[in-house]
Amino acid sequence: IFSTPAEGAKWVAQQVALLMRAKADAGEHCVLGLATGSTPKLLYAELVRLHREEGLSFRHVIAFNLDEYYPIEKDALQSYNRFMKTQLFDKVDIDPSNCFIPDGEVPKEKIKEHCADYERMIALVGGIDLQILGIGVNGHIGFNEPGSSIHSKTRMVSLENSTRLANAYEFQGMSDVPRLALTMGISTILKAKKIILMGWGNTKAPVIQKAVEGDVTESVPASLLQTHDDATFVMDEQAASQLT
Ligand code: F6R
């Protein structure tokens, strides 16, 4: 628990950088699972600073993003593809061919194949070393809404209206927010060797309390992280304010 989101994000950036440097020293790739939304913006800003000012290199990083709206054009203002480019990928020395994001333009009939390929590619590079997560006010991780199975894999999902409402600020209005998305599954996330979930602000306090102190249940997807042996929640004081 940190007093401000900026301090929390700085600590998370240090963990990411430590892992990246250890992997580089060992001559290995570093496989990062990345999130979008407002929560990781400070983390990406700090990683960009570490790259520019402290020589942190992303040349050996392979990145897999959690999710993408469907359908959405890659270059649309609200696409997570574009978000990652503007927040991180275009500002560091990562190889663009090592950046994977579920494809919001994939034809409908190819979605299953695309999702299976996504799982296969993660496995092919040895799995995710560190997965970064945010949390939805309904407890979702990635776009795994309440009720998602602990065994779920990368797939197409329907977004809850509460999620569409929470994300409407990125669009012209709620009716423009896609109803569908492609997301890594809960099992995809739980296979990561290390997980860090970030949550900032009062709006996340009730769900963080449930996820950390409540039952392990598919109706609060983030509570399933209690079954992982290296999962850390990083919060500011407001987000932690309902923990007992
Ligand atoms: C986005 C994602 C989502 C967000 C969550 C919180 O890639 O995986 O689970 O982390 O919706 O969104 P913000 O950070 O905008 O509050």
Instruction: Find the angle CA(139)-CA(122)-CA(142) to the nearest 5 degrees.
Output: 15
In a domain, 12, yes or no: yes
Angstrom distance (rounded) from CA 36 to CA 83: 7
Domain-embedded: residue 241:
no
User: In angstroms, rounded to a whole number, what is the distance separating the alpha carbons of residues 181 and 117?
Assistant: 16
Q: What number is the average pLDDT over the span 36-52? A: 98
Pick the residue whose CA is nearest to atom 3 on ligand 1: 142
Mean pLDDT of 128-146: 98
Has residue 189 been placed in a domain? yes
pLDDT band for position 141 (cuts 50, 70, 90): very high
What's the CA-to-centroid distance between 140 and ligand 1, angstroms? 8
- Give a yes or no: residue 244 inside a domain: no
Residue 198 lies in a domain: yes
pLDDT in tens, 159-215: 999 999 999 999 999 999 999 999 999 999 999 999 999 999 999 999 999 999 999
Identify which of 143, 154, 188, 233 to mutate to test ligand 1's pocket (most ligand atoms within 8 A of the CB).
Answer: 143
Q: Which atom of ligand 1 is nearest to the CA of 80?
A: 7
- For the chain, percent of residues with pLDDT exceeding 70: 100
Answer yes or no: is the C-beta of 139 below 6 A from any ligand 1 atom. Answer: no
242 within some domain:
no
Q: Where are the alpha helices (DSSP H) in 26-177?
A: 41-54, 80-87, 111-124, 161-166
Q: Classify residue 80: in a domain, yes or no.
A: yes
Q: How far is the CA of 192 from the centre of ligand 1 (A)?
A: 18
Q: What is the 3-state secondary structure (H, E, C) of 4-34?
A: CHHHHHHHHHHHHHHHHHHHHHCCCCEEEEE
Q: Which atom of ligand 1 is nearest to the CA of 183?
A: 8
Domain-embedded: residue 29: yes
Q: Is residue 204 lining ligand 1, measured as CB closer than 6 Å?
A: no
For residue 179, what is the domain's CATH number? 3.40.50.1360
Residue 166 is predicted with a pLDDT of 95
Look at residue 3 in the predicted model and tell me its pLDDT.
Answer: 98
Q: Provide the residue count of the chain.
A: 244
Coil, helix or strand for 198?
strand
Catalytic residues, by residue number, are 145
146 band by pLDDT with thresholds 50, 70 and 90:
very high
Count of domains forming the chain: 1
Range of the domain at 88: 5-235
Determine whether the shortest distance from the Cβ of 140 to ligand 1 is under 6 A: yes
- Predicted confidence at residue 218, as pLDDT, reads 98
For the chain, the average pLDDT equals 98
* Mean pLDDT within 34-45: 98
- For ligand 1, atom 2, which residue shows the shortest CA distance? 142
Percent of the chain past pLDDT 90, that is, above it, reads 100
- The mean pLDDT value for 81-92 works out to 98
Predicted pLDDT of residue 73: 98
Query: 8-31, pLDDT tens digit by residue?
Result: 999 999 999 999 999 999 999 999
Count Cα atoms within 13 angstroms, Cβ side, for 242: 17
Pocket flag, ligand 1, residue 189 (CB < 6 Å): no
Between the CA of residue 229 and those of 150, 186, 191, 224, 242, what are the distances in Å? Answer: 15, 15, 11, 11, 23
Could you tell me if the ipTM is greater than 0.95?
yes
Atom of ligand 1 nearest to the CA of 67: 7
Cβ of 104 less than 6 Å from ligand 1: no
Q: CA separation (Å) from 28 to 23, 62, 128?
A: 5, 11, 13
**pLDDT confidence of residue 241:** 98
**The whole model's pTM is what?**
0.98
pLDDT digits 0-9 by tens, 96-115: 999 999 999 999 999 999 99
